[in-house]
A and B are shown apart, each in its own frame.
Chain A
Amino acid sequence: QQPVQSPQAVILREGEDAVINCSSSKALYSVHWYRQKHGEAPVFLMILLKGGEQKGHEKISASFNEKKQQSSLYLTASQLSYSGTYFCGTESTSGTYKYIFGTGTRLKVLA
């Protein structure tokens, strides 16, 4: 089952904050976050693992609530370069291995 992201789209001014949520109907063991700019490939932002371990390489934070089967991505003091479509991604926990991307959130930052 595909994780559902909210909001579907958001428009910000530079310097404003945003939160993107990712909810799954099945248990999550890890969540990945990606940003994809128009015409480009997705770029890895962050991974959150069950147990709280978090790995990433940009100044963006995230949380992972295993009980609620949710993850949230926090973008603070947004910059123009943050514009793009954000996807969460997770592994299927039943049957053969599958990787599933969320429904996506389009974010646009205006000057």
Chain B
Amino acid sequence: DAGVTQSPTHLIKTRGQHVTLRCSPISGHKSVSWYQQVLGQGPQFIFQYYEKEERGRGNFPDRFSARQFPNYSSELNVNALLLGDSALYLCASSLLGGSYEQYFGPGTRLTVT
């Protein structure tokens, strides 16, 4: 079975631009979560979506937004990019969200110059 897929793998953007990252969950999984991981640190929770509704939000500015589509895939959008947004962005899918195991995609490496 296919795991969680993310696109693109790598991305280089300039300060002030916006970016859209995409995630396809494991087939049958209805929940998608997004995380930001800066080098040397653990993943930081950004959003969780379940059945196309936002279930949770981390301590990130409003420049960060996301949505989940009817096929349960998801997009993470970041506007007005800052140098500090450079990080690995991870998507994780789970069957029902909450206390269910999460399976991570390979991530999108975003570099902001």
Contacts and interface: CB of A to CB of B under 8 A. Distances in A.
Interface of A: 29-30, 32, 40-44, 47, 49, 55, 87, 91, 96-104
Contacts of B56: 96-99
A98 B58 contact: yes
Contacts of B104: 41-44
A26 B94 CA distance: 24
Given A32-B101, A91-B98, A41 B57 contact: no
Interface string B22-42: 000000000001000000011
Interface string B81-113: 000000000100000001111111111000000
A47 B105 contact: no
Interface residues of B, number: 22
Contacts of A55: 101
Given A47-B101, A97-B56, A99-B48, A41 B107 contact: yes
B42 A102 contact: yes
Contact of A44 (B41, B101, B105, B106): B101
Contact of B42 (A91, A97, A104): A104
Contacts of A104: 41-42
A101 B63 CA distance: 23
Contact of B55 (A43, A44, A97): A97
A96 B33 CA distance: 14
A69 to B, nearest CB: 16
